[in-house]
Amino acid sequence: MANDAITNTLADPLAQIRAINQSAAFNRWCGIEVVSAEPGKAEIAMPWRAEVGQYSGFLHAGLVGALIDTACGFAAVSVVGRVLASHYSVNCLRPAVGERFIARARVVKPGKTQVFTACELYAVAEGSEKLVATGETLLSVVGA
């Protein structure tokens, strides 16, 4: 059923990516929402919850990577269809502390078999955004 929703929304990147997001149990557990999407770009957000923190009360680095990977995948999907991460890297720049986290990703280089993307992750606290991490992904195209 979720695949039908995804297939039927190819002309609308935001609807397409929201359908994919809703079909992923992990994304629902994290509380990830798709804020915006257009061809080659995606923005997602996630609220802070104690369950996603590490021992010092910062967002766990695993979730930092997951947000970057997810946003990059969504940006790629908006251009080439279904993708699967083949490699990603994350640079943690400062502790991820905030009420909300926003990942903004973009396609750097699309291709027929691979897509290269980049992302910035921001922590939002008291209405102010701070860059907490950057990342890049190499995604394999697995189908339209």
Are 78 and 141 within 8 A, CB to CB?
no
Give the residues across from 100 on adjacent strands. 47, 124
Q: Provide the number of structural domains found in the chain.
A: 1
Q: What pLDDT score does 7 carry?
A: 40
Averaged pLDDT, 3-14 = 57
Distance CA 73, CA 46 (A): 16
> How much is the pTM?
0.91
Integer angstrom CA distances of residue 133 from 34, 63, 96: 19, 11, 8
Percentage of the chain surpassing pLDDT 70? Answer: 92
Q: What pLDDT score does 63 carry?
A: 97
Q: What pLDDT score does 10 carry?
A: 55
Are 5 and 21 within 8 A, CB to CB?
no
Q: Using one digit for the tens of pLDDT, what is the confidence trace for 9-41?
A: 357 999 999 999 999 999 999 999 999 999 999
What's 132's domain CATH number? 3.10.129.10
Residue 109 belongs to what domain range? Answer: 2-143
| Mean of per-residue pLDDT scores for the chain | 92
Range of weakest confidence among 7-11, 55-59, 81-85: 7-11
